[in-house]
């Protein structure tokens, strides 16, 4: 499905178990195809649901890391770093088995957005199932406006953030119910209904959102300690909080 | 204006096609649908509020039948072409004010099976309210807990991607 306003092109691609939405200048439309091929390659290589993916085979001990795509080594090293920064709340074994998806999606989307930048666009966004990388602004000097879905009232927005060259990632209780486990307890994280992290690049912004959700109420102080990242959360009881610099993104 | 109508009809037609893959039809559609719908406010309206005067942005409330005779000053009704879907004809009508959609009415929808009723009770109102919300907030994208490929069609992001 492809369409859009004059001068803009919108494309929605079913991949990685979700839908990735592109909003690009029409002149950069050719790069969307390249980005889409990259996302399908990532899916085939990193999906824990495909038995013959590198991630599945490595996780099952069928192949050594050296026999996998070199990107898997890159991802594992980055995951170890995020795990350390988050005090172990980010993990590559969230459900007990090897699954680096919490890192891979944001990383794949940020790289897809970079491909479109390399093709000459200075103003586009890529939304990977609710985690958004924005490049430049939305044309005519207008900032990107990203609605934050209200997890307690489906179909409505909790608030709108605006910015340029930024990433917005939200972790929460998804359609299938609680799915993020606190690795320190082994139990589903239940403090928060959702937490949104805003930062420069989607790779770390998304990984930090996942860690923050697992952390629960402790996430506020943790994100406060991270340079360049801000957070907004809605608790499972319907209250909300935000870090001290989050207001800069509110319109 | 015709493009807007067409876009929404295409979105709804896509939704009907998607839902046609559902194999587990509820025996008591309204009750089952209210469970699926969570807190979206679509529950308990097995009938259709033919003369609803509620604001169109209230999730789950939308009128059946033409609004052409109920317009207030400054409003214009735009009726879309009948879209043929695998389940039957779908036709919608938009009420515009100052070039913005303020209400959406369903003129025709499939009503033959439990699945059709599920679409009417749950999916149409959700899609319509989200289209209106997205328009009202003037947003470019939506961030939220990851949706599945199937859930996307009911999402705000879907409404944005289909925006003309």
Size of interface A-B (CB pairs under 8 A): 135
- What is the model's pLDDT at position A141? 86
Residues A171, B156: C-beta atoms closer than 8 Å: no
Q: How far does A240 lie from chain B, in Å, by closest CA?
A: 15
- What is the model's pLDDT at position B54? 30
A94-113: average pLDDT:
94
- What is the model's pLDDT at position B86? 67
pTM given for the model:
0.71
Where is mean pLDDT largest: A5-9, A49-53, B43-47?
A: A49-53
A68-86: average pLDDT:
97
Q: Is the pLDDT at B156 greater than 50, yes or no?
A: yes
Q: Is the pLDDT at A234 greater than 50, yes or no?
A: yes
**Residue B22 to residue A108: CA distance in whole angstroms:** 30
pLDDT tens digits for range B20-67: 433 333 333 222 222 222 223 323 333 333 333 333 333 334 567 788
Q: Match 């050719």 to its residue by tokens.
A: A30
Q: How far does B119 lie from chain A, in Å, by closest CA?
A: 16
Nearest alpha carbon to residue A127 among B127, B155, B123, B16: B155
- What is the model's pLDDT at position A188? 86
**Residue A208 to residue A168: CA distance in whole angstroms:** 11
B2-22: average pLDDT:
51
The complex's ipTM works out to 0.89
Alpha helices by DSSP H, listed for B20-147, are: 29-36, 114-118, 124-137
Q: Is the pLDDT at B17 greater than 50, yes or no?
A: no
Residues B143, A196: C-beta atoms closer than 8 Å: yes
Q: Where are the domains of chain B?
A: 2-21+53-161
Q: Is the pLDDT at B142 greater than 60, yes or no?
A: yes
Among candidates B145, B152, B164 on the partner chain, residue whose Cβ is nearest the Cβ of A151:
B145
Higher pLDDT, A198 or A4: A198
Tell me the CA distances in angstroms from B106 to A5, A113, B67, B94, one per residue in order: 25, 38, 10, 9
pLDDT tens digits for range B127-141: 666 666 666 667 888
- What is the model's pLDDT at position B32? 25
CATH number of A2-249: 3.10.520.10
**Residue B75 to residue A166: CA distance in whole angstroms:** 39
**Residue B88 to residue B111: CA distance in whole angstroms:** 8
On average, the pLDDT of chain A sits at 92
Q: Is the pLDDT at A60 greater than 60, yes or no?
A: yes
Contact by Cβ (8 Å): B92, B9: yes
Nearest alpha carbon to residue B159 among B146, B136, A26: B136
User: Angle at CA B59, nearest 5°, toward B53 and B61?
Assistant: 35
Higher pLDDT, A36 or B138: A36
Among candidates B140, B147, B161 on the partner chain, residue whose Cβ is nearest the Cβ of A146:
B140
Nearest alpha carbon to residue A200 among A225, A220, A226: A226
pLDDT tens digits for range A112-131: 999 999 999 999 999 999 99
Higher pLDDT, B111 or A86: A86
B-contacting residues in A 110-139 (Cβ below 8 Å):
125, 127, 129-132, 134, 138
The helix (H) or strand (E) run that includes residue B143 is strand B141-143
Where is mean pLDDT largest: A196-210, B94-108, B114-128?
A: A196-210
Residues A130, B163: C-beta atoms closer than 8 Å: no
Reported confidence tier of residue B122, pLDDT bands at 50, 70, 90: low
Taking CA–CA distances from A12, the nearest residue in chain B reads B161
pLDDT tens digits for range B69-86: 888 888 887 777 777 666
Q: Match 């898997």 to its residue by tokens.
A: A72
Could you give the angle at which helices A70-85 and A29-46 cross, rounded to 10 degrees? 80
Phi, psi torsion values for A141, nearest 5 degrees: 75, 5
pLDDT tens digits for range A141-163: 899 999 998 888 777 788 999 99
**Residue B8 to residue B80: CA distance in whole angstroms:** 9
pLDDT tens digits for range A170-195: 998 765 555 688 899 888 888 999 99
């Amino acid at each position: 499905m492809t369409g859009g306003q004059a001068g803009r092109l919108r494309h929605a691609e079913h991949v990685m178990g979700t839908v990735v939405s592109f909003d690009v200048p029409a002149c950069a439309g050719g790069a969307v195809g390249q980005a889409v091929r990259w996302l399908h390659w990532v899916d085939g290589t990193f999906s824990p649901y495909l038995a013959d993916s590198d991630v599945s085979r490595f996780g099952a001990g069928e192949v050594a890391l050296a026999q996998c795509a070199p990107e898997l080594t890159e991802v594992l090293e980055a995951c170890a770093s995020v795990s350390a920064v988050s005090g172990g709340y980010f993990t590559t074994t969230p459900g007990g088995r090897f699954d680096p998806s919490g890192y891979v999606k944001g990383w794949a989307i940020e790289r897809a957005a970079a491909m479109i930048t390399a093709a000459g666009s200075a103003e586009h966004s890529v939304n990977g199932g609710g985690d958004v990388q924005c490049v430049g602004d939305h044309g005519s000097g207008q900032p990107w406006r990203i609605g934050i879905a209200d997890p307690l009232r489906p179909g409505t927005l909790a608030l709108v953030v605006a910015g340029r060259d930024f990433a917005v990632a939200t972790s929460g209780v998804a359609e299938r119910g609680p799915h993020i486990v606190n690795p320190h307890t082994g139990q589903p994280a239940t403090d928060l209904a959702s937490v949104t992290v805003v930062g420069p690049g989607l790779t770390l912004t998304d990984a930090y959102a996942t860690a923050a959700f697992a952390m629960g109420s402790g996430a506020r102080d943790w994100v406060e300690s991270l340079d360049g990242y801000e957070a907004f959360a809605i608790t499972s009881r319907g209250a909300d909080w935000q870090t001290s610099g989050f207001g800069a993104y509110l319109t | 204006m015709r493009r807007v109508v067409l876009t929404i009809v295409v979105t709804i037609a896509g939704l009907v096609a998607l839902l046609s893959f559902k194999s587990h039809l509820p025996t008591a559609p309204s009750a089952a649908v209210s469970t699926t719908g969570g807190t979206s406010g679509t529950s308990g309206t097995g009938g259709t509020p033919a003369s609803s005067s509620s604001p169109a942005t209230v999730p789950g409330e939308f009128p059946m039948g033409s609004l052409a005779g109920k317009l207030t000053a400054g409003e214009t009704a735009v009726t879309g072409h009948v879209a043929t879907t695998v389940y039957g004809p779908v036709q919608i009508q938009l009420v515009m004010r100052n070039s913005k959609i303020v209400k959406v009415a369903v003129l025709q929808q499939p009503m033959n099976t439990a699945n059709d009723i599920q679409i009417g009770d749950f999916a149409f109102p959700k899609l319509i309210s989200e289209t209106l919300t997205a328009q009202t907030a003037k947003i470019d994208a939506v961030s939220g807990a990851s949706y599945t490929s199937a859930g996307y069609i009911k999402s705000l992001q879907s409404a944005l991607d289909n925006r003309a």
